[in-house]
Amino acid sequence: MKTFIVYAVCAFAGASALIFVASADWLLAGAIGAGIGLGAALFVHAFPRDLAPPSERRRRSAKARDAKASDRF
């Protein structure tokens, strides 16, 4: 799915969930729910890209290469 659609669906789901639970002031509940939904979408969208920065991957591969070299002797 496109990024915009993911953010829109998460914002709508969060707003709908809090509006459903709210007994008064539905507008504020919708705004807060949309913010929570957007935060969740940001976490889901950004987290997989931030698991291992390129320098960390290089460091891990260098350690693996060194470990293989030490196994030979």
The whole-number pLDDT of residue 44 equals: 81
Residue-wise pLDDT tens digits, 17-42: 998 988 888 899 999 999 999 998 88
**Both tokens assigned to 18:** 């809090």
The verdict on pTM exceeding 0.85 is no
Domain that holds residue 50: 3-72
Sign, Cα dihedral of 60, 65, 67, 68: positive
Closest to 13 (Cα-Cα) out of 34, 44, 42, 43: 34
Backbone angles phi, psi at 53, to 5 degrees: -60, 160
Domains identified in the chain, total number: 1
Question: What is the CA 17 to chain-centroid distance, rounded?
Answer: 20
